[in-house]
Amino acid sequence: MTNVIDVEKGPTAARGRGDTVRAAVMVAPGKMELQELPYPDHLEPGALIVKMEMSGICGTDKHAFKGEVTLYGGTESEQDMVFPCVHGHENSGIVVEMNGEGRQIEYSGQALRVGDRVTNCPNVICGRCWYCRSVHAYPYCAEHQGVGMTYRSDRFPHIVGGWSEYMYLPPKAWVYRVPEHIPVELACLSELFVVAALLDRGKELAACGGKGFHFGDTVVVQGAGPIGMMMVAKARILGAGKILVLDASDTKLGMAADFGADTTIDVSGRSDAELVEAIRDQTEGRGADVVVETVGQPGVVRVGLEMLRRGGTYLETGNFADTGEVALNVHRHIAAKNVLLYGNTNHPHDGYYRALEMMWRHRDRFPWERLITHRFGLEQAQQALEKSLEPDALKVVFVP
Ligand SMILES: [Zn+2]
Ligand SMILES: [Zn+2]
């Protein structure tokens, strides 16, 4: 009989207590499964349930799929992404249920109601540890949890991730009401643009003589994936001079040009020395003022440091999960060059409204929606993850 009921409801019918929810589950590295998971039988105070419209496949999810599961290695927050897990933290969805007053649940105290479109920050912090009390906006929390990363799907509340018809956002999750004029694509992409706040940190560091990111500086972006593209856009908005982008994919380099990169450099078949030479050719022989790493492979860090001018600033964010080690010459790469090396995980949770607004304001300048190159249903999960690793894929999304 349950089959009959399912057929009557259809895949997009409203679900509630006692029903199941279709979700794409990462059951092990490299393995996706379509599963029916329980719709949560209750909501904890401050929790809400969202009917998903769109959810992206992020670099973090690709790291997990490749078996690179350790986050925040060597810190109090060190943790592994879990299996089985419903991933998906770049989300856009519609609120269907809340346990609590909307103003208490919404990040800035807006009057959140059932039917509103929301996005969320993946980080859930304790609010009580030394880091939560001392470091603001960045989630250094010693008890950190990640929506779509560290919640197992085989126990309540099962669906804490966006690759699902419905998503449960736990108490303390940061939920942002998306303004009515913002389309679903921008809501889904907003988390990536918040990551580009790394360049704002570079701006702050410009107070340290000759370091940081100054008006008119040459910026190199290693990697032309979606995060790399967000860095290109942000660097331009913040006043970069020349922007140079490196990647091995023609599709991605073409997109980088469409986002306003001045020069794109295909790294395939070129030695590190040739790449450094190519950057020096564009910078009066000195090297770049700022290099941003968004590739997520440790091997590119060494050549990235070599692309810097003396006293330049290296912003590292691609190796968000533990990807292994790389050999550096500490004298040549860091000390002798007076390099400012700035590591980054995550993004500031207070950046979402600004990101949404600035993406909207600059919608004629940057082709945000073209970043979404592939859309998949939940039943195509394996194919979607495999596609996301191919060179012609920028942002791959699920449309549940
Ligand atoms: Zn992400
Ligand atoms: Zn904490």
Query: Rounded to the nearest whole angstrom, what is the distance from the C-alpha of residue 109 to the centroid of ligand 2?
Result: 21
Q: Which ligand is nearest to the CA of 64?
A: 1
pLDDT tens sequence across 332-374: 999 999 999 999 999 999 999 999 999 999 999 999 999 999 9
**Is 208 within 8 Å of 342 (Cβ atoms)?**
no
pLDDT tens sequence across 74-87: 999 999 999 999 99
Query: Rounded to the nearest whole angstrom, what is the distance from the C-alpha of residue 320 to the centroid of ligand 1?
Result: 10
Residues with CB under 5 A from ligand 2 (ion): 125-126, 129, 132, 141, 143
pTM of the model: 0.94
Q: Is residue 322 classed as helix, strand or coil in its secondary structure?
A: coil
pLDDT category, 12, cuts 50, 70, 90?
A: low
Per-residue pLDDT at 314 exceeds 50:
yes
Query: Rounded to the nearest whole angstrom, what is the distance from the C-alpha of residue 44 to the centroid of ligand 1?
Result: 25
Q: 10 Å Cβ neighbour count for 21?
A: 24
Residue 314 sits at φ, ψ, to 5 deg, of -110, 120
Q: Which ligand is nearest to the CA of 194?
A: 1
**Is 396 within 8 Å of 376 (Cβ atoms)?**
yes
pLDDT tens sequence across 257-282: 999 999 999 999 999 999 999 999 99
Residues with CB under 5 A from ligand 1 (ion): 58
Query: Rounded to the nearest whole angstrom, what is the distance from the C-alpha of residue 293 to the centroid of ligand 1?
Result: 15
**Is 323 within 8 Å of 296 (Cβ atoms)?**
yes
Per-residue pLDDT at 4 exceeds 90:
no
pLDDT at 3: 33
Closest CA to 260 of 342, 368, 104, 396: 368
Residue 355 corresponds to which amino acid? Answer: A
DSSP of 285-312, one letter per residue?
TS-EEEEEE-S--THHHHHHHHTEEEEE
DSSP of 67-117, one letter per residue?
T--EESTTSTT-EE--SSB----SEEEEEEEESS-HHHHBTT-----TT-E
